[in-house]
Amino acid sequence: MLPHARQEFLLRQLELHGSLRATEVAQMMGVSPVTVRRDIAELADQGRVERVHGGALSNGSRAGRPDVARTLIGVVVPSRTFYYPDVLHGMESVAATMRARIVLGVAGYSPEAERSRVERLLSLGVEGLVLTPSHVQAPEETAPWLASIPVPVVLLERHLDATRKVREIDSIRSDHSYGAMLAVDHLAALGHTRVALALDSWTPTAPWIRTGYLEAVDKLGLDPVPVTEMPSGFNDLQAITDAADAVLNMCLASQTRAVLAHSDHHAIQIAEIAQLRGLRVPEDIAVISYDDVLVAHAAVPLTAVTPPRVELGREALRMLMGRVDGTEEPSSPRHVQLLPRLTIRESCGGSVRLPPPRRTAVARPRRR
């Protein structure tokens, strides 16, 4: 183990327990007590620990902090931006009361990086993991690895049922099908008889959104509109612009006056391109986004389906700590879904004023 990794391990142990003995930690790391004492001396010279006979104390130990974290929890997510900061904020909001210390690993949708981050966190002594597995690998390939992790795991925004073993892992996610249904139902209540779906199909959320959208269109008796596939690369502005143009061309040709767009990047571009083409939002076309991270700041603030990101983080940590502490009741595995909400802004407007074919502007959709 490299000196930096050893010293990081020492600091984590001190944060968890307030003190450590050099001989015990040396055994845990598989190095000599002399090596540990040398690391402690270096950290003490830097003012990061207090050196004492036989070991070290946390700098906060003399103050007698009653809330020293006692449980190290690992969190591995695909990204530290966009969706996940709110999730992490939710975890942090309850971590102190549970005396938990969160250590983050970011895997970037790479199965190899994901496994590497988990191994590193386990080497640091984490007692549980909140994990968002990459979706680029088949569930049948991911399942054996997940089942082999030796500490309690809660899957975040994922649910895998490839094997019985992995199905028994706790999971918590947003009910994205319900979120899509919320959006379509809202647009139908405003008088829209056709609602387009612009979907980033690469994301793991996409299948749930598609399912909810199609179910809502069927149940509300809306006229079917082909689902438009959107490019996933957020940095390829030209590709997103071209796709937004295609969505608007289809809407104008079919007299569709409402779009549900996943995700925020696509929704913002659709609204902006519509305005550049002389269309008014929401008078000529209504836009609802799915994600609600950026769209409140669009030129026309967009109505959005808002997943419960903060609540997801909070409840994921609570579920995991129950397993780690052995206090979770009932003891059977749990698959929890939290409902998104619809955040109404300016991009939907009132009842539809442009009459679609075969129906009046104020007609309610058929219900079956």
pLDDT of residue 60: 63
Return the residue matching tokens 């389906």. 305
pLDDT of residue 28: 80
Quick one: 21 and 97 in the same domain? no
Widest CA span of the chain, in angstroms? 87
**Of 128, 185, 178, which is closest to residue 308 (Cα–Cα)?**
178
Quick one: 127 and 92 in the same domain? yes
What is the rounded distance in angstroms from the CA atom of residue 360 to the CA atom of residue 352? 9
Instruction: Please give the model's pTM, rounded to 2 decimal places.
Output: 0.76
Q: 139: helix, coil or strand?
A: helix
Quick one: 59 and 97 in the same domain? no
pLDDT of residue 132: 95
Quick one: 297 and 221 in the same domain? yes
Quick one: 269 and 288 in the same domain? yes
Using 50 as the pLDDT threshold, list the residues of the chain that sit under it.
62-67, 353-368
Of the chain, the end-to-end C-alpha distance in Å amounts to 65
pLDDT of residue 251: 96
Domain assignment present for residue 144? The answer is yes
Quick one: 119 and 209 in the same domain? no
Q: How many CA atoms lie within 13 A of 255 on its CB side?
A: 12
Quick one: 181 and 124 in the same domain? no
Q: What is the signed CA dihedral for 314, 317, 320, 324, rounded to 10 degrees?
A: -130
Quick one: 284 and 188 in the same domain? yes
Q: 203: helix, coil or strand?
A: coil
Quick one: 137 and 246 in the same domain? no
| Owning domain of residue 82 | 71-168+311-339
Domain assignment present for residue 233? The answer is yes
Quick one: 189 and 293 in the same domain? yes
**For residue 295, what is the domain's CATH number?**
3.40.50.2300
Rg of the chain in Å (alpha carbons): 25
Quick one: 229 and 158 in the same domain? no
What is the rounded distance in angstroms from the CA atom of residue 174 to the CA atom of residue 311? 10
Q: Which of 36, 63, 90 is the last residue of a domain?
A: 63
Quick one: 298 and 322 in the same domain? no
Domain assignment present for residue 97? The answer is yes
The conformation of residue 22, written as its DSSP 8-state character, comes to: H
**Of 107, 110, 161, which is closest to residue 129 (Cα–Cα)?**
107
Q: Which runs of consecutive H residues, i.e. helices, occur in the chain?
A: 3-17, 22-29, 33-45, 84-95, 111-123, 139-148, 164-167, 176-189, 206-220, 237-254, 264-276, 309-325
**For residue 49, what is the domain's CATH number?**
1.10.10.10
Would you say 264 and 295 are in contact if contact means Cβ atoms under 8 Å apart? yes
Q: How far is CA 296 from the centre of its chain?
A: 19
Q: What is the signed CA dihedral for 340, 344, 350, 356, rounded to 10 degrees?
A: -40
